[in-house]
Amino acid sequence: MSTQSPIRPSQQPDQKPRLLQMRGTAPVPTGPIMLNLQSPHKRIRFTTVVFLMVLSLFFTRLIDLQIVQGPALAAAAQNSRLQTLVLPALRGTITDANGVAIATTIMARNVTVDQTLIKDPAGTATVLAPLLGLPVKKVTELITGDKRFNYVAKQITPDAWKAIAALGIPGIFSEPTTKRSYPNGALAANVVGYVGAEGHGLGGLEYGLDKQLSGTDGTLTVERVHGREIPTSERQSIDPTNGISTRLTIDRDVQAMAERALADEVTKSGAKGGDVVVMDPRTGDIIALATYPTFDPNDPFATSDQTKRNPAVTDVFEPGSTSKVMTMAAVIEEGAFTPMSKFTIPAGLPRAGTTFHDHDKHGVLHLTLNGVLAKSSNMGSILAAEAIGEKKFYGYLKKFGIGDFTGMNFPGESAGLLPALKDWSGTTFPTLAFGQGLSVNAIQAASVFATIANDGVRMKPRLIAGYVGNDGKFEPNSPVPGVKVVSAATAKTVREMLESVVSADGTAPDAQIAGYRIAGKTGTANKYDAATRGYSGYTASFIGMAPAENPSLVIAVMIHNPVNGHFGSTVAGPVFKKIMTYALAQQKIPPTKTRPPKIPVGW
């Protein structure tokens, strides 16, 4: 018997796999599964399945990119190409009373750079710098780096940009902008003001009216690739709204004359500075407002901030003898005196422990009230004011606008100074009576005389005649109703007394103008120095009107801290005469047909 073990069915190599079948199920192979691809049909089916599986993956990704993430990805791609440019609004024009432009806006270009496109910064800067008027080193710094947007220069002329664009330098672009231009240079510069590099007002009316003048910028959105606009791309734009133009009350020709006459006298007298106000007393319109020194608003940063202010509005001074016109008006209105009233003026007048004197020493004088004004007697003014008392006198000063804002709303305006009645010391009343101890700006000083010229009615000074909208229509700025200060009869009487000042018996006979009746008053006041809290130097002034019988013009001249002379009659009077002579002719004001009354100066 053989000892060899029988071979088990599972160990027989050539045996086909058996199928196990459970009850109720299909046969399941129990041996190894083998993929037989020898059949062409099977290979095709396999390849098709793999292809469909791969295709389904691509299709799923496509759905994700196109449908699920598509809008976001498209927006991101477009945003990377979109560039929004500012369409600058044209700043409103500022004109004189006749519509002649004093400040206007011209088109300009800002030069920009995509630094990533500049291959040779040093070479590019060498070419650009002369056209931009900038140092090569500065331009090199501005165009070097990895910024996609940077400014190289702002507000260059369109012609300058054409020269740069003709070079075709990759990475150098431009955008539209505007530039403020002052065609008359320094004319009325301290009134109009100036704008900064960003196009907003930084001084004067440019600052005060910045909101109205600026308008609203528009936008233009375009698609660009490598800095170049896609020709077929869609543009989206919002049009700018231009600013509102402003018409001033200032007459350019009178302004120019006032500035020349003032500059000549400030230079001649070695003064620190000066102001001139030319006003129409019937409306309060300021026809000229000159200050010196001044500046060129086309190049405002070449001068100090101090020079760019408007001291005629912002700075105050003690008016001195020009203030006596208020004293005269108050005592006449109250019926205390008439121009013929007699005064005995002593050599000195003791009050509250202080002895007051006139400017020139003298013995006892016998003057009428008219003579007190004509000779500018300090002691006579004190005696006159005392007749109506402190309270009434203070009330008249307030009605004349002393210590209050003019209502012009000019940036930086000072209200001046008038001590409250409760704060008066023993010497305050007599000091105020002859024009010291209170402070005014040049506009307020002119307004006092304009009130007398306008039959006792104080009009609010104004610089704005009206506005011109984008439709081209002019909207006038109507004068505000005036405030009654004294009666017409009192105002007429004071005007006639002021004519005595420019007579042979007064302090300013040289202020007379042939063919016209002139009324005015000189002033020579000690100037208060806030730094030393004492008086240092003088303010020499002359304020007058013409024709005296029916005034059309009031002119105030102030010369601050003159060195070569300091009397109002000799320093400020000649400036008044030059400007008034010109303005009367320029404004076509007919000569006087009557003679001034003869009012005695002494008794």
Q: What are phi and psi of 287, to 5 degrees?
A: -85, -30
Residue 247's CB is within 10 A of a number of other CB atoms, namely: 22
d(CA 539, CA 530): 15
Pairing type for strands 228-229 and 236-238 reads: unpaired
d(CA 39, CA 61): 34
DSSP single-letter state for residue 234: P
- Residue 523: strand pairing partners: 541
d(CA 432, CA 409): 27
Contact 47, 188 (CB under 8 A): no
- Which DSSP string do the residues of 582-600 spell out, in sequence order? HHHHHTTPPPP-S------
H or E element that contains 3:
none
- Residue 289: strand pairing partners: 277
Pairing type for strands 286-292 and 228-229 reads: unpaired
Identify residue 554 by its one-letter amino acid code: V
Identify residue 379 by its one-letter amino acid code: M
d(CA 583, CA 590): 11
Contact 174, 161 (CB under 8 A): yes
Dihedral, CA atoms, 262, 190, 457, 464, nearest 10 degrees?
Answer: 130
**Of the listed 174, 245, 321, 376, which one is catalytic?**
321
- In the block, which residue shows the tokens 């760019």? 308
Those residues with Cβ within 8 angstroms of residue 101's Cβ, 6 or more apart along the chain or in another chain: 93, 94, 95, 183
H helices within 544-572, ranges in order? 568-571
d(CA 241, CA 216): 5
**CA distances from residue 328 to 5, 217, 372, 496, 600 in whole angstroms, order as listed:** 155, 56, 9, 12, 16
DSSP single-letter state for residue 13: T
Token digits for 415?
A: 């209200």
Contact 293, 265 (CB under 8 A): no
Residue 588's CB is within 10 A of a number of other CB atoms, namely: 7
For 199, the 3-state DSSP assignment is coil
> H/E/C letters for each residue in 302-332?
HCCCCCCCCHHHHCCECCHHHHHHHHHHHHH
- Which DSSP string do the residues of 143-182 spell out, in sequence order? H-SS-S-EEEEEEE-HHHHHHHHTT--TTEEEEEEEEEE-
- In the block, which residue shows the tokens 């030319």? 278
d(CA 30, CA 304): 104
541 a catalytic residue: no
- In the block, which residue shows the tokens 């086909």? 16
List, by residue number, the catalytic residues: 321
